[in-house]
Amino acid sequence: VTSILFAHDPKSAGPWRSVFQENAPDISFNVWEEGTDCPETDYLITWKPPAGLISRLPRLRGIFLLSAGVDHLALPDIPRGVDLFRMSEPGLVNGMVEYVTFAVLGIHRGMFRYARQQASHSWKRDRDAASPVTRIGVMGLGALGSAVVASLRSQGFAVSGWSRTKREIAGVPTYCGREGLGDFLPGADILISLVALTPQTRGLVDASMLAQLPRGAAFVNVARGDVVNENDLLAALASGQIGQAVLDVFATEPLPPDHPFWSHPNVFVTPHVASVFQPETAAMAVLENLRAHLAGARPAAIVDHDRGY
């Protein structure tokens, strides 16, 4: 019997247990609590494996993470024989598409500016605010970035993309690697960050990158705070090089109460809520990957230790 252990807040196990009981009665579903290891465990579901647990599970073959990013883990601590699966599921994708659509439309239609005007009871109409040619550059064309590209395109935006390796998306100019940035950045009136955080992308969005965007461009970060050099972003906001930032993720979370982002008139802050997985659809996605893995397949959600995501 294949055995799966849910090692996360036990109070959140309910929907997972239901999905497994209903759809996989052949799989034994257990919930971990301190001091009650299940040594027969084949697969773990967790955000971060509890300290020492992996070494006490001799049969462990795979870990299903409750997050899309793996930057909170020390990858070298995960044995190579244990496959690590990122969270990739329709609920997470939909949430991200909604958030980015909100940010893009808010910028495109000047809504963040009108919100500021409302605070000072100012009736100032900008009939030209909705420029017909807002060009959007999406950095990161993975599960989330590619869905964002498709959705924005369907709304009529001109979209381009950038990733580590060359991605082909019909009708979308795509660029890759550091050498691709020179062509990609000048065409992005709104830059959206959806890259994985790795040693290569830490501090990626810095003064020199921001300077290559069109003057007054907007920046949306829904990846990880450490992808951005926050001081460089503040300087670009101060100089007007960046006109608006929509930020969901920060180098330090919670964002410290005295951080300048909180009160900056051109920064819209949300508390890392762009997208969360939905337990029911996430459990179904885990089950699908689990079945494929048991059948010997290598689902796309498996993390590549060498590339770090």
Catalytic: which of 17, 272, 291, 305? 272
Catalytic: which of 224, 264, 291, 305? 224
Q: Considering the complex, what minimum distance in angstroms separates the CB of residue 284 from ligand NDP?
A: 17
Q: How many CB atoms lie within 10 A of CB 63?
A: 23
Which residues of this chain interact with ligand NDP, rule CB under 6 A?
Answer: 68-69, 88, 92, 140-145, 163-165, 167, 194-198, 200-201, 222-224, 248-249, 272, 274-275, 309
**272 counts as catalytic:** yes
Q: Considering the complex, what minimum distance in angstroms separates the CB of residue 124 from ligand NDP?
A: 32
Within 8 A by CB and 6+ apart from 257, the residues are none
Distance CA 131, CA 127 (A): 9
Query: How many residues are listed for the chain in this entry?
Result: 309
Residue nearest to ligand NDP (CB): 142
Nearest to 278 by CA among 80, 1, 12: 12
- 113 or 224: whose CB is closer to ligand NDP? 224
- 23 or 200: whose CB is closer to ligand NDP? 200
Distance CA 174, CA 191 (A): 14
- 62 or 110: whose CB is closer to ligand NDP? 62
- 140 or 243: whose CB is closer to ligand NDP? 140
Distance of CA 215 to the CA centre of its chain: 26
Q: Considering the complex, what minimum distance in angstroms separates the CB of residue 300 from ligand NDP?
A: 8
**72 counts as catalytic:** no
Buried b (16+ CB within 10 A) or exposed e, 224-238: bbbbbbbebbbebbe
Task: Point out the residues that are catalytic.
Answer: 224, 272
